[in-house]
Amino acid sequence: MDNKYSNKWSEFKDSLELSKEELSEIDLKVELLGKILEIRKEKGLTQAEFAKLCNIKQEYLVRLEKSKTAPQIDTLLKILIPLGYKL
């Protein structure tokens, strides 16, 4: 993650009135979604190719990559298993 965005996120996160558990959950989601994007780019796949490989809709992948939705466990497995990863 670019440092300028990381700093903004840290500042914003610190301003929220959330429990440690809620903050941990947010951090995990951010890390997972970032890793999914990183894997796709490392493999040189377009969103369409990646979505097809993982048997998910491209539109859903777009929402994931933009952090507009958080994946359910079964969706994470659909994404990670074909790529040789596991939780």
User: What is the pLDDT, as a whole number, of residue 4?
Assistant: 61
What's this model's pTM, rounded to 2 decimal places? Answer: 0.72
Per the CB < 8 A criterion, the answer to whether 65 and 36 are in contact is yes
pLDDT value at residue 54: 93
> What per-residue string of b and e applies to 59-79 under the rule 16 or more CB within 10 Å gives b?
ebbeebbeeeebbeeebbeeb
Intervals of the chain under pLDDT 70: 1-6
Alpha carbon separation from 74 to 43, 68, 70, 71 (Å, rounded): 22, 18, 12, 8
- Note the pLDDT of residue 6: 61
Look at residue 57 in the predicted model and tell me its pLDDT: 95
